[in-house]
Structure 1
Amino acid sequence: MIPAQNWYQKLTVQFADGTVEVLFLDMSLSGRHRPRPVRLPAQWTRLGFEKCSCCPLTMEDYCPAAMSLEETLLTVRAHQSFEVVTATAMDAEQRTTSVQWPLQQVGAAFVQIAVFCSGCPVGGRFRPMLRDLRVFATGRELSKHLVYKHLLQHRGDAAASAQAVTAALEPLHAVFTGLFKRLQNVPKEATQDAIPNSIVVMHSMTMLLGIHVDK
């Protein structure tokens, strides 16, 4: 039996005006997010709409990461990125963690789910290393966690670990760039700035990881 994963299972976001959005994420035991679209996926989620240069997928009709974002990030489309919200996450062990952050930081958690857990072949390479990462991890926490995991994988060999992280980061940066371009083509009134800014925040986290590797 595969053990439960310490990852997001339910996300609740309370906005400044008192409204609440609750997301029950369909996460498999292996940590895979399986989006549950209530309608035909949007045109911008199609694989060929803004396919990443590093993407090896050919037969799929839709981008897995984009479909995940459609279910999660688009629930915040009526709000601005700087709005401070109260977000609560429940993991697979029924533990809850709450934060009061600007919406773009909370949205970065949705981007993590989309890139690392949706079936994206690039982000999926990191998924086994994130099983014990705490929910709402900061950029520094994510960076330290991944560096530590690579060190374990390479038996403490710093040079080999740094090489592996650097090689994995290059296509990952391309994925974040591709997602950002996709969302720039979504009607502005439907997205405001919270969604693209969340991708920028997550992208900056991976840039921070590169700095940790250099050190």
Structure 2
Amino acid sequence: MNKKTIQYNFKLNDLHEIFDIELDEENLNFLGADHDAPPSWTRLDYNQCPNCPLTLETHPYCPLAVNLINLVTRFERLISYDEIELTVVTEERIIMQTTTAQRGISSLMGLLIATSGCPHTFFFKPMARFHLPFASIEETVTRTTSMYLLAQYFINNEGGEPDLELKGLLEIYQNIQTVNQHIAHRLREVTEKDSVVNAIILLDTYAQYLPDLIERSLKRFRFLFKPFLSHQQER
């Protein structure tokens, strides 16, 4: 099995936590989610999302929650605004930043969520493959819409009906908002500090506002594509 590894290295005073996130290169599933006895808060029916298509018969545990076990365990004592030194190492680059605990954890959490077995997060696997920590709002909008439109290209090539109006993208984000909110309910009940809970809230803030930002930002980005538009008009 070929693996893709992304390392998150957190430093704060005496705290030094290293996460080696190994992904199956074929399906981009997180390979570190096996636990002999997952905690009760990861059971599928524990604050289960109302839009969850999984059942207890096939999935006794929420795959997304299981992906977060190690993160929750190792960051229980961090406060949201603790200042940390974070280094993220991918095959392509090394990114270092001084940031808050909640922002660093949020970046790692986003990667773990995208590579979980939750059906509502499958759509984020292409972004996980080209993981970009600390992406700005503009970068996130660009990457999200670009990946979605690339998917429409493949759908069209295979005889499907492409969605060029991005209606499906809005639906994806509506579903992920529900997922984020219910994962936050789980985490509130099992963590003493606020850094992990606020990390998922930060992700949900992006999910809530991204649909509106996409429409506004795409109009603002139009000037970047004038050469394509001019070429089309000349044909």
TM-score higher than 0.5 here? Answer: yes
Residue 185 of structure 1 aligns with which residue? 189
Matched, 1:64 2:63: yes
User: Which of structures 1 and 2 has the bigger CA Rg?
Assistant: 2
Residue 140 of structure 2 aligns with which residue? 142
Equivalent runs, 1:21-32 vs 2, <5 Å: 21-29=17-25, 30-32=27-29
Distance 1:147 1:200, change over 3 A: same
Residue 95 of structure 1 aligns with which residue? 93
Output the CA distance in 2 between the equivalents of 1:187 and 1:164: 34
Report the Cα offset of residue 137 of structure 1.
2.5
Q: Name the aligned partner's letter for residue 90 of structure 1.
A: V
**Structure 1 regions of 5+ residues with no counterpart?**
none
Q: State the secondary structure of the residue aligned to 2:51.
A: coil
Structure 1 moving runs of 4+ over 4 Å: 36-39
Residue 114 of structure 1 aligns with which residue? 112
Residue 203 of structure 1 aligns with which residue? 204
Output the CA distance in 2 between the equivalents of 1:88 and 1:27: 19
Native 8 Å contact 1:144 1:209 kept in 2 = no
Matched, 1:74 2:69: no
Q: Name the aligned partner's letter for residue 138 of structure 1.
A: S
Report the Cα offset of residue 37 of structure 1.
5.4
CA RMSD, 1 decimal? 2.4
Output the CA distance in 2 between the equivalents of 1:169 and 1:54: 13
Output the CA distance in 2 between the equivalents of 1:37 and 1:151: 33
Distance 1:67 1:77, change over 3 A: same
**Structure 2 regions of 5+ residues with no counterpart?**
154-161, 217-235
Distance 1:165 1:77, change over 3 A: same
**Percent of residue pairs identical:** 21
Distance 1:193 1:160, change over 3 A: same
Report the Cα offset of residue 167 of structure 1.
1.4
Native 8 Å contact 1:35 1:67 kept in 2 = no
Residue 83 of structure 1 aligns with which residue? 82
Q: State the secondary structure of the residue aligned to 1:48.
A: coil
Q: State the secondary structure of the residue aligned to 2:10.
A: strand
Residue 105 of structure 1 aligns with which residue? 103
Q: TM-score, normalised by structure 2?
A: 0.78
* Superimposed CA distance per residue, residues 133-168 of structure 1 (whole angstroms, 9 cap, x where no aligned partner): 42332344222210122233446xx97342121111
Residue 222 of structure 2 aligns with which residue? none
* Superimposed CA distance per residue, residues 77-118 of structure 1 (whole angstroms, 9 cap, x where no aligned partner): 111000110111122x26321111111111111221232111
Count, aligned residues: 205
Output the CA distance in 1 between the equivalents of 2:65 and 2:185: 11
Q: TM-score, normalised by structure 1?
A: 0.84
